[in-house]
Amino acid sequence: MAGKKGNGEGSIFKRSDGKWCGVVTNGRDNEGHLKRQYYYGRTRQEVADKILTVQNEIKTGTFIEPTKIKVGEWLDLWLQEYMRPSLRLTTYSSYEDTIRSHIKPTLSDIMLRELRPEHLQKLYNEKYKRGRVDGKGGLSARSVRYIHVIIHESLEQALKTQLVVRNVSDATTLPRQTKKDIRVFTVEEQLKFTETAENDSWGTAFKLDLASGLRLGELLALKWSDIDFKEGVLKVRNSLARVRTFENEDNKSNNEPTNDPEKRVSRLIFQEPKTKSGKRNIPLPENILEELKEHKLMQENEKSFMGEAYADCGLIFCTHYGTPIEPRNMMRRFYQLVNDAGLQKTNFHSMRHSFASRALEAGIHPKIVQEMLGHANISMTLDIYSHVMPELKKDAAAKLNHLFDKKNYDLRYDEPEEPILKNRALTKSRGMERGI
């Protein structure tokens, strides 16, 4: 039996099952048919309140048509259609892995329009406490923030396409991120490490890294064409990375991802730096250039010995077969050499930190260090290597001592005292005349 229509409520009626239903008409679709939205409730007043809210939204231009898309479906659509064309393969893989492993298991079945801040806040809190995939504790604050970035970006796009009214991730609180202490070799430790690596087949690679501050991927992507021996300059143009991705088995050459989990593969790829500052030229010390020349001769001998089995990729550092070195293998070798040298355990990136610290300690301007490291701006360099700044400030203060040393101003005291007194008297008299 249909209920009486109230003022400004739209069409409201009672269904045969006892529930109340309301209908709001909002324009026409592409085929000219009326677009109707249905709202349900246990009482007539409940439905009337819903309709009144919708009508107010229509008047103010904030109404968004309800959709049945779920959070998981939207994340897949957003990643595939909106993000894939603009992302590097490594970044795409990282986004996909984070969505699949950390976001979808919790949020996938929630309707996108019903997603609320408390859903996200609970997710962030749980990930921070016990979010590791291996079950060994929680994720770092940085990892939780990375999850948040992906969710926030996806909801921003949903907002633009009018699938949601607001970005609910703006109403969440993230765990506090504390700054990690970086590990830097002391001069003595650096000497011990290089001495230990002297007879290692990849020893030249480690020495070059300490002299240039290259990232691991940049080091392993170096080709002989990237070294200008005449000018003594190394050119950073590419990076090597192992990336997990959905690869199209029918056409591997185009790197097109698929949505089939069974086709997920892992492979090494060369890619350009993420930012413009990543492409850079780094001057090298003479002794490192000599080391590289010797390394080239050894590589030529190995190439001749291997014959047709050698796949010449032009790489400076490669396997015995000329193929790219697996980054994990290089890291394992580094850890072993650190242990053999009797040094405290550290990671590969500490060589990059050590290069920057030595450069700043040597008085190289921070702007130059920034450019050699490939940082986007100097504030990043100064923030990371602030531990070096106190000593540099002390040195700067010591260099300013001479400004206050009377011995450097002997000429001032050779002047006759009388003229100075006369000048002071003259100045005083003129001041009195001006009423000063």
Domain ranges across the chain:
11-60, 71-171, 187-388
Q: What is the mean pLDDT of residues 161-190?
A: 91
pLDDT for the residue numbered 353? 94
- pLDDT confidence of residue 435: 47
Percent of all residues in the chain with a pLDDT value above 90, rounded to a whole number: 57
The reply to whether domains 71-171 and 187-388 share a CATH topology is no
Distances (CA, A) of 405 to 393, 401, 402, 410: 19, 7, 5, 10
pLDDT at 151 over 80: yes
The CB-based long-range contact list for 401-407 (8 Å cut-off, 24+ gap) reads: none
Question: What does the pLDDT read at residue 395?
Answer: 66
The amino acid at 313 = C
Sorting pLDDT into bands at 50, 70 and 90, what band is 174? Answer: very high
Mean pLDDT of 113-139: 94
Give 34 or 323, the one with higher predicted confidence.
323
The pLDDT > 70 percentage for the chain reads 81
Q: pLDDT tens digits for 161-171?
A: 888 889 999 99
| C-alpha–C-alpha distance, residues 355 and 373, integer Å | 9
Give the pLDDT band of residue 180 (cuts 50, 70, 90): confident
In 3D space, the residue among 107, 180, 169 whose CA is nearest the CA of residue 141 turns out to be 180
Name the band, by pLDDT with cuts 50, 70 and 90, for residue 245. Answer: low
Query: Mean pLDDT, to the nearest integer, of 116-128?
Result: 97
pLDDT digit string (tens) for 43-94? 999 988 888 888 887 777 766 666 778 999 999 999 999 999 899 889 999 9
What's the pLDDT at 40?
Answer: 81
> pLDDT class for 5, splitting at 50, 70, 90?
very low
128 in Cβ contact with 141 (< 8 Å): yes
User: Whole-number mean pLDDT of the chain?
Assistant: 85
Does the pLDDT value for residue 251 go beyond 60? no
pTM given for the model: 0.73
pLDDT (tens digit per residue) in 278-334: 999 999 999 999 999 999 999 999 999 999 999 999 999 999 999 999 999 999 999
- Collapsing DSSP to helix, strand or coil, 22 comes out as strand
* Residue 426, pLDDT above cutoff 60: no
Q: Which CATH number fits domain 71-171: 1.10.150.130, 1.10.260.40, 3.40.50.720, 3.60.15.10?
A: 1.10.150.130
Q: How confident is the model at residue 148 (pLDDT cuts 50, 70, 90)?
A: very high
The pLDDT, as a whole number, for residue 71 is 96
Q: Identify the CATH assignment for 187-388 out of 3.90.1200.10, 1.10.443.10, 1.10.357.10, 2.40.160.60.
A: 1.10.443.10
Partners of 265 in beta bridges: 245
| 8 A C-beta contact, residue 175 and residue 169 | no
Is the backbone of residue 18 left (phi > 0), alpha (psi -120 to 50) or beta?
Answer: left
Residue 54 near residue 113 (C-beta atoms within 8 A): no
In terms of pLDDT, which residue wins out, 129 or 67?
129
pLDDT of residue 250: 46
